[in-house]
Copies of this chain bind each other. A is one copy, B any other.
Amino acid sequence: MTNNSLGFDPAGRYTARATDVFEDRGMSHTGRARALLLALSLSFGTAAGAGAQERSVENGVSQFALANGMQVVVIPDHRAPIVTHMVWYKVGSADEPPGKSGIAHFFEHLMFKGTKNHKAGEFGAAIAAIGGSENAFTSYDYTAYHQTVEADALETMMTFEADRMRNLILTDEVIGPERDVILEERRSRVETSPDALLDEEKDATLYQNHPYRIPVIGWMHEIEQLNRADAVAFYDRYYAPNNAVLVVAGDVDEATVRRLADKTYGLVPRGPDLPPRVRPQEPEHNTRRTVTLKDARISVPSFGTSWLAPSYTTDSDGEAEALDILSEVLGGGTRSRIHQELVVRQGIASSAGAYYSGSLLDTTSFTVYGAPRGAATLEQIEAAVRAEVAKIVKDGVTADEVEKAKTRFLRSVIFARDSQSSMANIYGATLATGGTIADIDEWPDRIKAVTAEQVRAVAAKYLDYDRSVTGYLLPADQAPN
């Protein structure tokens, strides 16, 4: 498992939120790469309705629903005789009951245990036997399971996946040892990592009411208390076809997927009707906040300043698109203002940039970050980044910058679409957060429509240092900010 701890990473903008929890079960690419694929997908999630229930086809991608309410998306890709099979549950850590942090991720682990029909490990062994790969991940807003296998193994995947949707054996004998595994995972991924600890407390300082303040993996003292009753309640409430999206990409056609899905998932009865996913929202913020962690293991200090910002789901009037372009112009890569000024021209930063995570179901954040190089100080870097923010708020950006940023941004999406699993991720994440296929199709045009003035406007509206949260990661001997 990889707990992607990004925070101040220059690639940050392309990754999912720092605390998403990715499992590592035999996939060959790294957690970082998976995060990249996923997050590209996430940029598409938007508001809109609950997704079409009738059949529709757009750009070769078809969508329909099974009789039990399970949504299905088929993305034909005949370049190689493989398929990517994913099931997305519309439940993530932000849906957990108070005091039960970690149950969504815990449950993801439990899904790899035995069912009434298959012993633990049988599913994985079947995938390995045919040279396939599998993985699963939990985020704030969804939990997903996927396999990439040769095309004629699709029915087997569906059979196993449909089986564990309702037939898990959840006994204390299963749950106790797995809780120990997760506690150890948290120890090794978070408790021993100063950045991870800082990220957690910074998130909990940025969000004061919304459950995004709570780490996806859960807090140690609450994971310790998770039990069989919690697991069963979570399973019975959220793991059901009417709360899931099936995505099949690859060397397959719609008719086959429909036939196989009806034979497998189609036999699983509907679960409870769930209310809309309304979580407690943030109050107005009126203060500048800092969160400082000093640790002997840190040699180079770093900082990251975050602001609450609308997501694609919560925004109005294209603000999310403008924030995406702002992050690109301000600090999205080597052509960005922050990189050019701090890393290239002044040479004071080892890394510096900006990122925006537009994909969340609720209010998200915009972040700038930096770390000094050589004799430069953290204060210098922070001031230089702040100056770049101030410059955009005051003078805006040029039309040329915006056009170039759009081109870079859209090129990365085209690149992502070239990957089968990445396409599957795009559709799965979008539908699992209430978006539609039309949102995905229209998104490039919405990006192209962003104007320089909109970019300046969202910078001025959201990047207010008097309503910000800055995390400082400092060597043990450095005076606090």
Listed in ascending order, the chain A residues whose CB lies under 8 Å from chain B are 98-99, 101, 197-198, 200-202, 204-205, 208-209, 213-214, 219-222, 278-281, 283-294, 465-466, 480
Contact = CB atoms under 8 A, between A and B. Distances in A.
Given A205-B208, A208-B201, A208-B205, A292 B287 contact: yes
A283 B205 contact: no
18 contacts: A99-B278, A99-B281, A198-B286, A201-B285, A201-B289, A204-B208, A204-B209, A208-B213, A209-B213, A209-B219, A220-B284, A221-B281, A221-B284, A222-B280, A287-B291, A288-B292, A290-B292, A465-B480
A237 B9 CA distance: 49
A278 B222 CA distance: 12
A18 to B, nearest CB: 15
Contacts of A201: 208, 285-287, 289
A198 B200 CA distance: 22
B289 A289 contact: yes
Contacts of A287: 197-198, 201-202, 291-293
Contacts of A220: 283-284
Contact of A283 (B98, B219, B288): B219
A290 B293 contact: no
A213 B289 CA distance: 15
Given A204-B208, A205-B208, A283-B221, A291 B291 contact: no
Given A208-B213, A465-B480, 5 more contacts: A200-B283, A209-B214, A220-B283, A287-B291, A288-B291
Nearest to A294: B466
A479 B480 CA distance: 16
Contacts of A98: 98, 279-280
A204 B288 CA distance: 13
A285 B286 CA distance: 23
Contacts of A202: 287
A340 B70 CA distance: 71
A281 B214 CA distance: 12
A288 B99 CA distance: 24
Nearest 7 pairs of A and B residues by beta carbon: A204-B208, A219-B283, A99-B280, A290-B290, A288-B292, A201-B287, A287-B291
